[in-house]
Chains A and B, each alone.
Chain A
Amino acid sequence: MADPVLLALTWRVTRRRLLGSPLAIAAALAFPAFVIWIGVADSYGTAAKFFFFLLPHVFLIAAQDTVRSDIESGALESVLFLGGRFRGFLDRKGFALSAITGAYAAVLFALFAAWGLAAGGYEPAFWLRFALALLAGFYYIALAGALSYVLRAGSNVLVLLLVQAAAVGAMIFSTTARTGLLDYAATGEFPGLGPRLVFGALAAVLPNVVVSGRLSVFAAEVLAGLGLALLVQSRLARQLELRS
């Protein structure tokens, strides 16, 4: 970690790439616009639900195309990355991305909280929900980062979105017991191990569900998943060779 030049390089490359990505910019602008629209059309309380639930997806969109494209572009075969330093660069990329997106999320949260204080709808528990949304967001970046060692361009994010759509679709269109699952999730109380495991699987692909604050067990699962994804990424980076 103690390589300021590599850290500066990682920071600049990641920042420029995010600012140069039309999809990331569109997501960063569309998300607050959507939350404002909900707040104006309905209420601040409803806007808060959408804000916290959708915030992790801003991280997911930002995590597109993190590793494979750099490897294949040949940009890592440079004097800057001799002696295996390219592995350190790839290792730090996820952290730089998390820091940039986390800073953006913090600004949005500050503005959203200020709106709530002015409108009278702000709740102290929002801090916890924001922290859980950050956790889910960091998990997305780590998971998408690990996937991007094998999937090129934005397909790492696309795969996650498709799996989420399939999981939610299966839940909605399958048995009525699944509908009960959503009720359990809303109260945070599960009647047995089966529903807990099913919801655990859902939380692994859609960690946004932990932002309710009532699902601390699943927040622990997402935290463990974050650690695991970082470990996998670190191993992949250590084994990586530039063959192109």
Chain B
Amino acid sequence: MIEVHGLTKRFGRVEALRGVSFKTKRGAITAMLGENGAGKTTTLKLVLGFLRPDSGTVAVAPGRVGYVPDRPAFFAGLDGWTILTLARPRRDRRASGNGRGFGALVLASSRSLLFDPALLRRRPASYSAGNAKKFAYLQNLVVAPDLLVVDEPFSALDPPSIRSVRDILCGLREAGKTVLVSSHMLAEMERIADGFVVLKRGETIANAGLREWRLMRTARKAPDLESVFLRLTGAEGPG
């Protein structure tokens, strides 16, 4: 679904990425892990086309792509409903005609996200951080993406919302969609992800499926993903 090969990116003197390569599988949740400054967000932005690589290639299978940023920002002048209607694909507009189907989809998606639909009358720029994050998910759910890229999926969310977002991500996987998430919440990632990409100082140090990951865990005699991650990144000495 996503194939990244030899990606490099430099910002002035800072070498943000130094040959990042990984593959994600269709119908799977892949977690991108790494310490602060490892290059996770830069990699996501290159995959999404917000940045251009200095070298290397990014191949994304054809289909709709969605994106939920870590801290979503919105145009100050537009209310939530207007933004949702603008995000709606043209094909769907023609198919649903009067927009009643779209309204039902928005309501259902809002419910699954624990998002109050009355907020759509207001401008998202005025939402709390948690509601802004949920609105960013809502914006993507109405697009029905084949690939969803999420930067810090649970940031700013309360525990019930974390659970609903987790269910949504798993639901997308069950529907055959592909999800790429970048997160520091290792316990959550261990619960939902099927594969992992670990970055360290702009390089890929691991790209493994769940089975390989479990083998690594066993071989390293580590109790959980956090322990494996800390050992891989060298943040914790051998215990």
A68 to B90, CA, bound (A): 29
A243 with B11: CB separation less than 8 A: yes
Interface string of A70-87 (1 = CB under 8 A from B): 100111111111111010
**Any A CB within 8 A of the CB of B120:** no
- The total of chain A residues at the interface (CB under 8 A) is 27
Question: Which residues of chain B are within 8 angstroms of A70 by Cβ–Cβ distance?
Answer: 75
Instruction: Indicate whether A74 sits within 8 Å of B77 (C-beta atoms), given known contacts A9-B86, A79-B67.
Output: no
Closest A residue to B77 by CB, please name it.
Answer: A16
**Any B CB within 8 A of the CB of A191:** no
Interface string of B1-31 (1 = CB under 8 A from A): 0000000000100000000000000000000
Question: Which residues of chain A are within 8 angstroms of B51 by Cβ–Cβ distance?
Answer: 241-243
Question: Which residues of chain A are within 8 angstroms of B71 by Cβ–Cβ distance?
Answer: 74
A77 to B52, CA, bound (A): 14
A16 with B50: CB separation less than 8 A: no
A78 with B86: CB separation less than 8 A: no
Interface string of B67-105 (1 = CB under 8 A from A): 111011111111000110011001000000000000000
B87 with A20: CB separation less than 8 A: no
A227 to B167, CA, bound (A): 52
Instruction: Indicate whether A242 sits within 8 Å of B66 (C-beta atoms), given known contacts A5-B90, A20-B76, A75-B74.
Output: no
Choose one: A20, A76, A82, A242; the contact of B77 (CB below 8 Å). A20
Closest B residue to A19 by CB, please name it.
Answer: B77
Instruction: Indicate whether A241 sits within 8 Å of B52 (C-beta atoms), given known contacts A16-B77, A79-B143.
Output: yes
B73 with A12: CB separation less than 8 A: no
Counting contact residues on chain B (CB < 8 A from A), the size range is 20 to 34
For window 1-31 of A, CB contacts with B under 8 Å fall at 4-5, 8-9, 12-13, 16-17, 19-20
Closest A residue to B140 by CB, please name it.
Answer: A79
Question: Which residues of chain A are within 8 angstroms of B136 by Cβ–Cβ distance?
Answer: 78-79
Choose one: B48, B50, B52, B73; the contact of A75 (CB below 8 Å). B73
Closest A residue to B93 by CB, please name it.
Answer: A5
Choose one: B65, B67, B78; the contact of A13 (CB below 8 Å). B78
Closest A residue to B46 by CB, please name it.
Answer: A241
Question: Which residues of chain B are within 8 angstroms of A82 by Cβ–Cβ distance?
Answer: 48-50, 65, 67
Instruction: Indicate whether A12 sits within 8 Å of B86 (C-beta atoms), given known contacts A78-B74, A242-B51.
Output: yes
Question: Which residues of chain B are within 8 angstroms of A76 by Cβ–Cβ distance?
Answer: 50
A198 to B22, CA, bound (A): 60
Question: Which residues of chain A are within 8 angstroms of B110 by Cβ–Cβ distance?
Answer: none
Question: Which residues of chain A are within 8 angstroms of B140 by Cβ–Cβ distance?
Answer: 79
For window 82-103 of A, CB contacts with B under 8 Å fall at 82-84, 86
**Any A CB within 8 A of the CB of B231:** no
Question: Which residues of chain B are within 8 angstroms of A241 by Cβ–Cβ distance?
Answer: 50-52
A192 to B68, CA, bound (A): 62
B82 with A242: CB separation less than 8 A: no
Choose one: B66, B69, B76, B86; the contact of A77 (CB below 8 Å). B69
A12 with B78: CB separation less than 8 A: yes
B77 with A86: CB separation less than 8 A: no
Closest B residue to A81 by CB, please name it.
Answer: B50
For window 34-61 of B, CB contacts with A under 8 Å fall at 45, 48-52
A242 with B50: CB separation less than 8 A: yes
A45 to B2, CA, bound (A): 67
A74 with B73: CB separation less than 8 A: yes
**Any A CB within 8 A of the CB of B139:** yes
B50 with A77: CB separation less than 8 A: yes
7 A-B residue contacts at CB 8 Å? A8-B86, A73-B73, A73-B75, A78-B69, A79-B67, A82-B65, A83-B48
